[in-house]
Structure 1
Amino acid sequence: MTAPALLTARWVVGHADGRHCLYSNGEIVVDRGRVVFVGHGYRGEVARRIDYGNALIGPGFVDLDALADLDTTALGYDNQPAWKKGRIWPQTYVESGPFDMYDAEELAFQKRYAFSRLIRGGITTALPIASLFYREWGETVAEFEAAADAARDLGLRVYLGPAYRSGNSVVRNDSTIDYFFDEERGLKGLADAIDFCRRLEGRDGGLIRTMLAPDRIETCTPELLRRSAAAAEDLDVPLRLHSNQSRFEYDSVLKLRGMSPTEWMHSLGFLGPRALLPHGTYVSGLNGIDRPGNDREILRDAGVTIVHCPLVSGRHGTALQSFRSFSDMGIRIGLGTDTYPPDMFLNMQVGMMLCRVAEASATACRSAEFYDAATIAGADALGRPDLGRLQPGSKADLMVVDLDDPFIGQVIDPIQTLMLNASASMVRSVMIDGRFVMEDGVIPGIDDRDYRRRAQSQFNGVMSKYPLRTFGHPKVEEIFPPSYPVISAAGFITAA
């Protein structure tokens, strides 16, 4: 937008005195990419007025672990154990030479497709995450240059950086799980990522920012993490590392390094306010970890942000123990989607349920706390007081949620209603940096059904290659058996 626009709705989520507030029948004025007014009775001149009626205008979500993939989590949902179902490379695949299962064009489409899904759900700032299970090794600079182009074209605010690693897990021929490392390859990935940051930081008027993203803690060497932390400090960019996310990872780090994941990161000087750590579920004293330690105190004192991804955690039978206890300790918690659907409403809803179940109390958390985590906390983790809130001077990153949707239910308080009944499909319009990137459910240039068909075709291609990278190389139908017997028109039965 090049001239002031005034937006009105039944509810506007403003920000005053350091916290969100609700304006009933509120107004928000946007000019040159910034919010200039939030409240009632604006008296200045505007070039455009839009009344959304019975809707909520709120800040766009900040997704610190934003799905940018054709989500392979679906392949492991019912198909376990992971090491028998292609989630860990077998030794035979490593010896034959891993390869990228998507070509460059498919990887570029993958990001564009995923970014459009994020926008549709009201996510306005995203730090992408994708799986390396089907990659030759790490992500490439070329694919992230294409990702930057896609973000620019769609108008999504992003923090980009190709994931890199020094090693990977492997299933040996005798069925034992081990690790192999290639230090030089990992450091080359870091060097490429640093160069990427230097070249693309602040591109497209600041819409494109950068980060460093070593992949998973168990696939990193001490030198890789030390140098990553130093580089993040030098570049002044976020530093994200998946850690404390599974018992397998916890035990692997303990075996390899003689310390818990948190203790090891701390010993390397990796932890600090720039550190973004998905998922935080396996720390000393919680989720069956009976080893003595003070992991949570270390995380708190270092000033890190735990990136809570409730949906993917719950699907794997785990949960943060708990949002309440971490918050009460003073540990900052932001939110991430991590898995499909990249629906922040669903993640907040599941997060609240998991917290209340973990604490066995309906009063363990409130709607506002999770809404804050999806907006303010994510922005603060990035050092961006101009994001995640709508107040004069902030970036005009906002969404409009339809409160007349037939499935929204009854409303007594709009934020509580979002936590009960909202979904990404109820987002009507999205603005980023003062530009409408979606209006009335339409993202310019995006054919949702065509994108879905194309994504499914690519996904089918990856599935067809799974026997190559699965222990024992079983047939596809053995890796991914149907939930029920499938009977074809010819009467052929595929057993469940």
Structure 2
Amino acid sequence: MAITLIRNAELVVGWDSSAKSHSYMPDTDVAFDGGTITFMGRGYEGAAETVLDGRGLMVMPGLVNIHSHPSSEPLNKGFLDEIGSPGLYNSSLYEYMPIFRADAEAVPHCVRVALSELLLSGVTTLADLSMAHPGWLDLLAEAGMRVCIAPMFRSARWFTKNGHVVEYEWDEKAGEKAMEEAIRLVERAEQHECGRLFGMVVPAQIDTCSAGLLKDSHAEAAKRGLSWQIHAAQSVVEFHEITRRHGTTPIGWLDSMGLLGERSIIGHGIFLDDHPSTRWHTETDLDRLADTGTTVAHCPTVFARRGIAMRDLGRYIRRGVNMGIGTDTYPHNMLDEMRLAAHIARTQAGNPRTLQTTDLFNAATIGGAKALGRDDIGRIAVGCKADFSLIDITHPMIRPAYDPIRSLIYSAGDRALKALYVDGNKVVEDGEVLTMDYRQAAEHLHEAQKRVAAGVQQRDWAHRSPEKIAPPTFHWS
């Protein structure tokens, strides 16, 4: 017996199974044995090896992040904040992101920085969409996080020679081989000794994958009981490319191949057929997503930087689309992402009632869990994983605490996170990650960015320096 008891928590965001929703539960005890919650309620009378005083604390379910790129995005800080290709509808995907890509030496530091930031913002489960890299599984295990490993593969690479036309270099055999390697890596992850890794099948982008690769990968995911995710409807360029190739929208093309469904996740899903930037002759994409039970992974920050937004999160939810939240870029702060998701939804709709905090919190917990095929995460309930955070609801930025979750998301953010547990193990305490050296990784990444910047001019099609592409806020004197 190694039962830990949180005695008399001031508040628990617990799961009400009869209402099938989260519920505020004051003066509540939570007990967990190893990695499983064994009791939630009042007046726990059983034995406990460790007792924690819950006064002044809110026990909140761990957040579930279904879309992130830890191995690359942290290095882009400072470079990509204000740039997007004007000739490519302000996306940064095709012209800029490839030339600022982290090198092999930088990747472990990127991962440690990203995972540290995620842990500090209450994330206990993460979908890591990365290209396979050495030591990946052990690095994820080191963090103490629950991770859905999602090695990406594709049939083609994209590039631009002039900043306004995107071209594709195809190698379908290489894509098939990469998928086989990705499946083997998922198998290894599921057998990892840490017991917290599981897998997903991820053809990288709808415009870089052949129809055969998409169908084969989806079938492989179904056979193995895994979720399947793809970047789609993420840029105007991609929308036009798919309509040019197939005469239908990205969502329409996926649907025509039978690739939408309850275990399918669309990364971003912004540019539907009724989006003002891609107005098509149909208005069926949103219905297709809802009627098939497909999930959309919503990551507003990376798009908001370039003046791009989903129209709008509340509309998708009201139509019945299962929504999850991700952090597609730096900073990897899930609470910040949630706050921005709410604000952008309301400004895009021109209506503060389009999205309720209930919907937002559900997307970041049970919506993400559903997308990953899990009913044991994203909620505080007996039998679920002991993945939760302890929030200091006496923190000045939480007070007054009429509605603690609203105060957390819209005001306090990660500053009020006291501790984080994954699988019953404490991984964050008082603003410090206990499993990784966040500060050291950030220092290494600082040096790595200088090294990557030195090669930008050679990789850029126009041979521009980093300072030319992303001028600093002020001149250096």
TM-score (norm 2): 0.92
Match of 1:292 among 275, 278, 281: 281
2:116 equivalent to 1:116: yes
Cα distance, 1:110 vs. partner? 2.5
Q: Match for residue 56 of structure 2?
A: 54
2:181 equivalent to 1:192: yes
Cα distance, 1:12 vs. partner? 1.0
Query: Does the 8 Å CA contact 1:160/1:210 hold for their aligned counterparts?
Result: yes
Query: Does the 8 Å CA contact 1:76/1:82 hold for their aligned counterparts?
Result: no
Match of 1:76 among 80, 83, 91: 80
Q: Match for residue 474 of structure 2?
A: 484
For 1:100-179, list aligned pairs within 5 A: 101-103=102-104, 105-130=105-130, 139-140=131-132, 142-143=133-134, 146-172=135-161, 176-179=165-168
Change (3 A) 1:174 1:484: closer
Query: Does the 8 Å CA contact 2:84/2:92 hold for their aligned counterparts?
Result: no
Q: Match for residue 302 of structure 2?
A: 312
In structure 2, distance between residues paired with 1:160 and 1:269 = 24
Name the amino acid aligned to 1:110. Answer: C
3-state SS of paired residue (1:162): strand
Match of 2:192 among 203, 210, 216: 203
Q: Match for residue 401 of structure 2?
A: 411
For 1:10-21, list aligned pairs within 5 A: 10-16=10-16, 17=18, 18-21=20-23
3-state SS of paired residue (2:346): helix
Q: Match for residue 281 of structure 1?
A: 270
Change (3 A) 1:347 1:86: closer
2:425 equivalent to 1:421: no
In structure 1, distance between residues paired with 2:6 and 2:164 = 63
In structure 2, distance between residues paired with 1:87 and 1:240 = 18
Cα distance, 1:454 vs. partner? 1.1
3-state SS of paired residue (2:369): helix
Cα RMSD after superposing both structures: 2.4
Name the amino acid aligned to 2:80. Answer: G
2:318 equivalent to 1:328: yes
- The number of residue pairs the alignment matches comes to 469
Change (3 A) 1:74 1:267: farther
Unaligned regions of 5+ residues in structure 2, if any?
none
In structure 1, distance between residues paired with 2:100 and 2:172 = 19
Q: Match for residue 66 of structure 2?
A: 64
Query: Does the 8 Å CA contact 2:129/2:151 hold for their aligned counterparts?
Result: no
Please give the per-residue CA displacement for 1:373-411, whole angstroms capped at 9, x wherever unaligned: 101111111121111100111110001122233433422
Unaligned regions of 5+ residues in structure 1, if any?
131-138, 488-496
Cα distance, 1:7 vs. partner? 4.5
In structure 2, distance between residues paired with 1:214 and 1:283 = 20
Cα distance, 1:484 vs. partner? 2.6
Please give the per-residue CA displacement for 1:23-77, whole angstroms capped at 9, x wherever unaligned: 1132211112111111221111211111243232100000001341325374232
3-state SS of paired residue (1:58): strand
Cα distance, 1:246 vs. partner? 1.5
Change (3 A) 1:183 1:330: same
- 310-319 vs 58-67, greater mean Cα deviation: 310-319
Match of 2:359 among 350, 369, 374: 369
